[in-house]
Structure 1
């Protein structure tokens, strides 16, 4: 569907809704909070709040947590318990708190220091940035002791690295010791900025040119492509290339080149490589899901090209804000690169129009010594003409009754050697849905309740090597194993789960991890055919028990 330049009202677009979304089947099994069949280790202390910024150490034994007025290191080396290793308090002093309240902010909910960025900078130190009573501050920390480093800096101005407002979304990623951020850099949260900080090799820090307009963006995620030295940012914003009477939101991906150092006269200390494009997530014959909520980067297996990196994104619609509706679309990095290598639009007279000449420098790296003419073209033309379409040209999951907010994904081999993608989807209501993408549809394997009350700020972090998902909320940090095969007590239950990670072991008479079964694991991910897979095992347990009813 191509939206032209006619000044339509968004409500008129509702007439384009031709086919209602079909609902997913409910989860095969549901585990309420504190279910003995799906035990979830929880770290929680009364004096520690908003444990939502998560970073796992390289060896997987320590989880660093950015919280309210503190940074924590948690011991997660044991599978069934999370314990505190170190806590570093990082509170705004009384005079800074007073200044925050005099500006109209609430001391208990707005003015604490909410740690919003936690990234590795080198082998021994972390970088942290907190809102610090609407006065962002940043620092380096020793990874072993969580003490603030005296060198090179302490309590620096974190403006442009993390937001003033603790409830405003932001994203940050470290690449080779440099920090790339997308956030707002003013008290009111109205000035968006994509920047590079801690720049190396004598390069200056670079940031957004003021003429590059980002319209009320909500930044959700970032990723790097080391093969081409690029960093990608995912966000939603008001799409001013569309001339609707009402504001029309657009999901975006933007790129910058890692080593961009700006221009010589034009775009000094500003990106010469910034470009953005629309991400199109729309079921056939339906309105688009145009607001992106979260993105997970799934890297390909060893030996595959980075072109095959897949970004799984959760999308919602501005037309269904009050309802539980969302979709998941998958985008291939190669397709994103193709759009950025194509044609661009030019911003003139307060509107976008197709660029007539085909400039070969737009969206390219290495423009530090480019001519003024080239850099003026870059300054005027940073919106790609094409839209990035998802794999298969449709969502991989379309739910009319679940509003998902966070996503993680892993790729695994089933017992028959076939590869499957498993999605972990966190709902606004506090349930984690585990879904497997099949050849023709999507199967919800299970749902697990991970928190009680709706959470304004939350986060998830997947460790594929540990087989664990961490969920951070205001209630604490919950550790969720990616599978709990032992919860299926019979061959029938095990096969009906259709979980690529679990199979029935006829030798031991247990449902176990496929990787732990020497051979002949009974499993049917596509169809769950119990009669075929469980011959000789059906008498061990009832075909179904009350847990499924």
Structure 2
């Protein structure tokens, strides 16, 4: 398989010389992760055609911050800045606008907002913050209304929005935040709205409030400091008898030198009616506990960003999944984690011991006293006694922590939002799928299969410019997930199986929504799958077993026969570049030259590509082999040949289709660039850097003898005085400089001033 090249001319010698320098200066690069934690197997940048997304936008509108899915799953209601939209998402492709209604803040409110030193360009508008389905004929919406929160009912007619009447707009204080930048949460349960937000203009009075419905309006007591002034609410989740609020605040029970943030879960009972004498119109069942999400031996993830409930079928227990970040940076980057909390564990903590504040020491300790019956804070029927209410005023913090199980820990990324669902694979098992929005506008798809830790199937850059993901709405009937941002709404298919072009790639992806169809030889979305001819291996991801035409045992034997061979012709006096597409970030890549080793004197690997200097013995078959999950397979195969003297066909490669391709190359004889990419700029940069390093080393070597001579002069002259000796008192001795010492004008002035002081 050797190339029979003619004798080397001076240009060839020069090319060989430059290539040897290239081997010395270019260091091999490897694909490294951004830190500990799972790496996304595939990453799609914004605008990548392989992961096509649908984008909806409306001229003149921005800040699509609130999303609501209709009961039938065919309409998406969107709360934007000073407008509410109804989008038809039933048809594939870009969502279509059904209709839109405007709800701007009044001119008077905008003027008052500007007088309060708020921006009339970015803040003094009506940002929709609450959008819930009240019943089949009405929605309930709340907005900031230029720092004067307001709410209203919106009529529906065939999923179309009816205009808002001004006389139907009511005050929304306690339901919507004043500032659009403040976090908030709200959930509608049994016709009653449970909201967590800031209750004043300054944003220093957090409140948990119940409005609407037949029950009395209740809220937290600000004077009793049940909530720290910086509390930030992220989710509200209803249960059978209670409603849980998830938030983060500064921990008052810990005494540290800096403010320690902590994540909380608070609980109020649905049947709470408030106190008769004490705690009138206040919650009498408010309790809160600490959420702990941490790895063993590591700092905790103490800042909660979002939480969702995934209902489970009996006998499984419903679980709450939440994303956390840390207030500390380790290694200059922040980390994120996804933790799961069982509702059973949360209920058990709220039935445990209380904490109480020792007023003498100002420290929180475990309450050891007796408890009354019924238990204070419980959802017992009937009004509570004054004694129980007095107890509840000071015993609202639980002693035990709610400990979560970390499912995924990732450094170098901040998760801001999540959506959760389960997907059933071909094996009949349910697999947990997490969609995680990041602070830079990306979406991570994570899968947890069995008892193993979660892994990342893909990363999709949704927003063209870095911007946090503030909302995610999963639409199971449409097989998509929606994300709103400042410029519109993106529709992301939850899987695009067609990007996996081979059975090997389809199985290694371990996407529960995708499986390989042996009949059509395509990777297809799981919808009414044919279990006989569809292949998937979620547990191990073994293509050797799943992609075999017949039954065979699980094996990790390398698959070396290529599916396609790309023919490359040698160009004299040039460096060939054979690219290797990295289909998976989890695979390791290596190059092979048929059955022989790659000649080290005439080849190098740079950025995954193989660089070759053509001469005798470099022709033949070159393969880039990927190894992932213990399975090896060829990614790309090249046949390097000479146009003048082609090589004989290898009998083992007979029957494999071939195609002629042109690869990047750089001519070293005439310095003419014949490829898209040249390495000579790299070579020149490295050469200049090498020259600077050598010059610096030479300066250091020359400076060392000068330093020794200077030090010797100081020893022979007037050096520093030993300790205990006093300086000479005469003017001549005091002004006489040591040898090789240059006296500046400032030194003379200082000496003269000092002398003048002695004379005086």
Same fold (TM over 0.5): yes
Q: Tell me the equivalent position of 1:340.
A: 350
Counterpart-to-counterpart distance in 1, 2:548 and 2:61 = 52
Match of 1:147 among 162, 184, 189: 162
Of the candidates 69, 83, 96, which is equivalent to residue 83 of structure 1?
A: 96
Does the Cα contact within 8 Å between 1:206 and 1:261 map onto a contact in 2? yes
Counterpart for residue 437 of structure 2 = 426
Superposition pairs of residues 197-276 of structure 1, within 5 angstroms: 197-200=211-214, 203-210=215-222, 211-215=224-228, 216-225=230-239, 227=240, 229-276=241-288
Give the equivalent residue in structure 2 for 1:97: 110
Contact 1:344–1:384 (Cα < 8 Å) also in 2: yes
- Per-residue CA deviations over 1:69-108 (Å, capped at 9, x if unaligned) read 1111111111212111111111112221111011000001
Superposition map of 1:348-367 within 5 A: 348-349=358-359, 350-359=362-371, 361-366=375-380
Cα distance, 1:441 vs. partner?
2.5
Q: Give the TM-score, by structure 1 length.
A: 0.90
1:287 aligned residue = 299
Contact 1:341–1:363 (Cα < 8 Å) also in 2? no
- The answer to which structure has the higher helix fraction is 2
| Structure 1 residue 340 displacement after superposition | 0.4
CA distance in 2, matches of 1:88, 1:25: 44
- Separation (CA, whole Å) in 2 of partners of 1:304 and 1:76: 34
Larger mean CA deviation between 24-33 and 529-538 belongs to: 529-538
Contact 1:264 1:368 in 2 (8 A): no
- Residues 468-547 of structure 1 aligned to structure 2 (within 5 Å): 468-520=480-532, 521-536=534-549, 547=583
TM-score of the aligned structures, taking structure 2 as reference length: 0.66
Question: Are 1:164 and 2:178 counterparts?
Answer: yes
Q: Give the deviation of 1:495 after TM superposition.
A: 0.3
Structure 2 counterpart of 1:124: 137
Aligned positions, number: 518
Q: Using the alignment, how far apart are the partners of 1:298 and 1:179 within structure 2?
A: 21
Q: Deviations over 1:167-209 (max 9, x none)?
A: 1000000001110000011000100000100031xx3111112
Q: Which has the higher contact order (CA 8 A, sep 6+)?
A: 1
Q: Distance in 2 between matches of 1:48 and 1:259?
A: 41
Q: Map 1:102-117; keep pairs closer than 5 Å.
A: 102-117=115-130
SS at match of 1:142: strand
* Contact map agreement 2:328 2:334 (CA 8 A) in 1: no
- What is aligned with 2:85? 72
The CA deviation at 1:149 is: 5.9
Q: How far off is 1:269 after superposition?
A: 1.2
Q: Which runs of 5+ in 2 are unaligned?
A: 1-33, 551-558, 566-579, 586-760
Q: Kindly indicate whether the alpha-carbon contact (under 8 Å) linking 2:39 and 2:456 is maintained by their aligned counterparts in 1.
A: yes
Structure 1 distance, partners of 2:503, 2:280, is 66
Would the aligned equivalents of 1:33 and 1:449 in 2 still touch at CA under 8 Å? Answer: yes
The offset of 1:148, in angstroms, is 4.8
Distance in structure 1 (CA, Å) of the matches to 2:354 and 2:99: 50
Are the counterparts in 2 of residues 343 and 358 from structure 1 also a CA contact under 8 Å? no
Whether 2:314 is the aligned partner of 1:311: answer no
Whether the 8 Å contact between 1:324 and 1:400 is mirrored in structure 2 is yes
The structural deviation recorded for 1:348 is: 4.7
Q: Taking structure 1 as reference, are residues 372 and 452 closer, same or farther at Cα in structure 2, changes over 3 Å only?
A: same
1:45 aligns with 2:58: yes
Instruction: Tell me how far apart the structure 2 counterparts of residues 300 and 53 of structure 1 sit (CA, whole Å).
Output: 26
Separation in structure 2 between the aligned mates of residue 524 and residue 541 of structure 1, nearest angstrom: 22
- Is contact 2:38-2:410 (8 Å) kept? no
* Structure 1 residue aligned with 2:398: 384
1:42/1:477 contact within 8 Å kept? yes
- Unmatched runs of 5 consecutive residues or more in structure 1: 1-20
Q: What do the CA deviations read for 1:479-527 (whole angstroms, capped 9, x no partner)? A: 1121111221111111011111111111222211233322133112232
1:143 and 1:40 mapped to 2: Cα distance? 29
Partner of 2:725: none
String of CA shifts for 1:289-333, please: whole Å, max 9, x gaps. 0000111211113x446xx11111111111129724111111011
Q: Which residue of 1 aligns with 2:417?
A: 406
Instruction: Tell me how large the CA RMSD over aligned residues is.
Output: 2.2
Q: Judging changes above 3 Å, is the alpha-carbon distance between structure 1 residues 269 and 190 closer, same or farther for their aligned structure 2 residues? A: same
- Between the aligned partners of 2:563 and 2:260, the Cα distance in structure 1 is 55
Displacement, 1:57?
0.2
Deviation (angstroms), 1:448: 1.0
Q: 2:738 maps to what in 1?
A: none
Contact 1:171 1:182 in 2 (8 A): yes
Following superposition, the deviation at residue 29 of structure 1 comes to: 1.2
